[in-house]
């Protein structure tokens, strides 16, 4: 009976060690990346009412960005929009939750590896709100989105090249009914019809 108990303890230890190895190294990276924007560049074509004149599409793009608190910073061949990104309560809560789970796995490993601390190691999870506070204080940032409209020789809109924050670019794509050039968009099962 003692050998089975010892074997179960070893399995539990290795399971805890696996949780530790999976969660801890990525935790710091997760917290640091939460305040940075992911910049992407994508080319789009108009798919709904594809024959819309370039001036109308430009007006729709301008309207989208002004509704989302962006202002035109530079006009020319490429239009630059600037705006302030504000922290999201949901993002702060998710970051706090993920940090709590990761610190819980650290506490579990420490309670097995250093049993003198007992269950006191689980007090580490009380530090998880600091990740949310870090996000909340550092997430405000100035965003810059560049839009270039390419018009064909016949005067029709050929493509729209957008460079900026991934979330804003995706919101623009959805709201304006754009398709990524060379891609076919398939709605997900949870998206509204």
Q: What does the alpha-carbon distance between residue 21 and residue 42 come to, in Å, rounded to a whole number?
A: 35
Q: For residue 151, what is the domain's CATH number? A: 3.30.310.80
Q: If pLDDT is split at 50, 70 and 90, which confidence band does 133 have?
A: very high
Q: What does the alpha-carbon distance between residue 177 and residue 185 come to, in Å, rounded to a whole number?
A: 10
User: Which residue range(s) make up the domain with 105?
Assistant: 2-33+89-138
Residue 188 lies inside a defined structural domain of this protein: no
Total of domains in the chain: 2
Residues 20 and 61 occupy one common structural domain: no
pLDDT in tens, 22-57: 777 788 888 888 888 788 888 888 765 556 778 888
- Over range 131-138, report the average pLDDT: 91
Residue 193 lies inside a defined structural domain of this protein: no
pLDDT, position 128: 93
- How many residues in total does the chain contain? 193
Contact 163, 41 (CB under 8 A): yes
Would you say residue 126 has pLDDT above 90?
yes
- Over range 158-182, report the average pLDDT: 85
Residue 128 lies inside a defined structural domain of this protein: yes
- Over range 73-101, report the average pLDDT: 89
Question: What pTM value is reported for the model?
Answer: 0.66
pLDDT, position 110: 80
């Amino acid at each position: 009976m003692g050998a089975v108990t010892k074997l179960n303890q070893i399995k539990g230890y290795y399971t805890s060690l696996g949780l530790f190895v999976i969660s801890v190294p990525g935790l710091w990276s997760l917290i640091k990346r939460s305040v940075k924007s992911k910049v992407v560049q994508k080319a789009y074509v108009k798919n709904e009412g594809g024959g819309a004149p370039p001036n109308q599409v430009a007006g729709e793009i301008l309207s989208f960005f002004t509704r989302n608190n962006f202002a035109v910073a530079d006009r020319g061949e490429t239009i630059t929009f600037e705006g302030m990104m504000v922290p999201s309560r949901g993002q702060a809560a998710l970051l706090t939750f993920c940090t709590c789970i990761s610190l819980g796995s650290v506490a579990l490993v420490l309670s097995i590896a250093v049993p003198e601390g007992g269950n006191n190691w689980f007090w580490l999870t009380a530090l998880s709100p600091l990740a949310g506070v870090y996000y909340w204080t550092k997430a405000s940032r100035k965003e810059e989105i560049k839009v270039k409209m390419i018009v064909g020789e016949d005067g029709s809109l050929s493509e729209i090249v957008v460079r900026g924050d991934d979330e804003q670019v995706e919101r623009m794509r959805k709201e304006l009914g754009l398709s990524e050039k060379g891609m076919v968009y398939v709605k997900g099962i949870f998206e509204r019809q």
